[in-house]
Structure 1
Amino acid sequence: MQNKKILIILGHPNPNSYCAKLADSYFRFAKNSGFDVQFLKLNELKFDYNLNFGYDKTIKQELEPDILLSQSLIQSADHLVFVYPNWWSSMPAILKAWIDRVFLPGFAFSYQKRSPLPKRLLKGKTARIMITMDAPTWYYKWFNRSPGVQLLKQGTLGFCGITKVKVTYFDQIRFRNLSKLNQFILESEKLGAMGA
């Protein structure tokens, strides 16, 4: 049995999406390899999508049970796996909303009085980003400059201390035949089996 704890976050709102198939294949093979795996399907969670008052400490926004569950699962995980589509060079609203509500000061980071840099509270964890897109990977990387990936990898995870983040691109989904789509599923299964 592996001791590594993995949390999969499915950020596609459609439960029957190709992203869901990739996430499910990762989950099954990680579990079969003996990893302790949890699976968060964001479309099944119930929470207010708006961080209504920002980080204003004088007004408290309730943390719904699914937000508290998300924080608990992140806290106990060694490795986070984000699976989502590239929409408008970024991520779906459901994933951005979840990040806004979950990665809060006091949980993911804390401000420091004498430094512009935060105290990173999620140090020691690793992550994998699995992103689907219709564009070729080279176009997304070199012409668009990977804005959605950078937002998550540097702007969120790195800011909170998760600096070992690997990215897997599944590109040109709309143009791929079934054989190639199945190859992508096999790649996801391989990553799951390794807990990578």
Structure 2
Amino acid sequence: MHALIVVAHHDPHSLTHGLAKKIAQGLTQANRSATFEIADLAAEGFDPRFSFADHAVHHREASPPMDVLAEQARIDRADALVLVYPIYWWSMPALLKGWIDRVFSNGWAFDFSLDKPFIKKLQRLQVHLVAVGGADDDTFLRHGYGQAMTAQIDHGIFDYCGARVVSSQRLLESETLEPALHLDNAYLIGQRLFPLSEETAQVQARPECA
């Protein structure tokens, strides 16, 4: 099983990056056969701007640009997609939103045309959302921010493409709580990405032969 962990934060020393690494650590320690790739959108210089070329792709007038094809190939190789990002203005950062705008294109993530039935094309993909926020849970509940994020991201993006959001967590009070609390939670998220069958768990539990 292979996971693509996409992180959207400009600072490699941020809590967001630390969470991504902990998820990867938990994944590989829970399942020795599992693999992962971390896609650092900021460090890799992904261009999130939706351009005329992307507009042509949406209208099925052109093939996706090479950078988009590369990201789609990454997702095609993955059994699970994990998005790790800070919450900016009660949503995801522009870098990650632009990645979705460009990569989840018509013809790859879904098929839309005026003369054919709509098709969701990412039904095999499992998605895990890990959002980091400074506010507390009561703020999200009181103002409906959490419900709004679920509607626009979980349903508005991934359900539209047929992908299944298996888990969606908001790690809150990130500027006031001890980082270790969220890092421990991220480790558990990684451990649960690919649940082991009983047979596989027994094999992994056996001591190595001398």
The TM-score normalised by the length of structure 1 is 0.85
Q: Answer whether contact 1:47 1:64 (CA < 8 A) is retained.
A: no
Distance 1:138-1:162 versus aligned 2 partners, 3 A rule: farther
Which of 5, 9, 21 is the aligned partner of 1:8? 5
2-side partners of 1:130 and 1:163: how far apart? 15
Q: CA deviation at 1:41?
A: 0.9
Q: What is the aligned partner in structure 1 of residue 65 from structure 2? A: 63
Distance in 1 of aligned mates of 2:191 and 2:93: 27
**Pairwise CA RMSD of aligned residues?**
2.1
Task: Name the aligned partner's letter for residue 164 of structure 1.
Answer: V
Alpha-carbon distance in 2 for matches of 1:75, 1:85: 25
Question: What secondary structure sits across from 1:124 in the alignment?
Answer: coil
CA apart distance, 1:28: 1.8
Instruction: Name 1:18's counterpart in structure 2.
Output: 15
The CA deviation at 1:13 is 2.4
| Residues 90 and 149, structure 1, Cα contact 8 Å, conserved in 2 | no
1:193 partner letter: Q
Deviations 1:90-137 (A, max 9, x none): 11111011111100011100114456x731110022111111111112
What does residue 203 of structure 2 align with?
Answer: none
- SS of equivalent to 1:159: helix
**How many residue pairs align between the two structures?**
187
Measure, in 2, the Cα distance between the counterparts of 1:143 and 1:69: 39
Q: SS in structure 2 opposite 1:128?
A: strand
SS class of match (1:87): coil
Does residue 129 of the first structure (1) align with residue 129 of the second (2)?
yes
Worse-matched range after superposition: 47-56 or 31-40: 47-56
TM-score with structure 2 setting the length: 0.80
Match status 1:42 vs 2:44:
no
Give 1:69 shift. Answer: 2.3
Q: 2:207 corresponds to which residue? A: none
Aligned equivalent of 1:84: 85
Counterpart code for 1:105: N
Structure 1: stretches of 5+ with no match in the other structure? none
In the alignment, the residues of structure 1 paired with residue 125 and residue 192 of structure 2 have an alpha-carbon distance, to the nearest angstrom, of 16
The structure-2 alpha-carbon separation of the partners of 1:86 and 1:192, relative to structure 1 and needing over 3 Å to count, comes to same
How many Å separate the matches in 2 of 1:121 and 1:70?
Answer: 16
For residues 124 and 31 of structure 1, do their structure 2 counterparts lie closer, same or farther at Cα, with a shift above 3 Å needed? same
Distance 1:8 1:29 in 2: 13
CA distance in 2, matches of 1:85, 1:191: 17
Kindly indicate whether the alpha-carbon contact (under 8 Å) linking 1:27 and 1:192 is maintained by their aligned counterparts in 2: yes
CA distance, structure 1, for counterparts of residue 92 and residue 165 of structure 2: 20
Extract unaligned runs of 5+ from structure 2. 195-210
Query: In structure 1, how many angstroms separate the alpha carbons of the residues matched to 2:131 and 2:120?
Result: 25
- Give the number of the structure whose residues are more often helix, by fraction: 2
Counterpart among 177, 183, 192 of residue 185 in structure 1: 183
CA distance in 2, matches of 1:134, 1:114: 46
Other structure's SS at 1:23 match: helix
Q: Tell me the SS of whatever aligns to 1:111.
A: strand
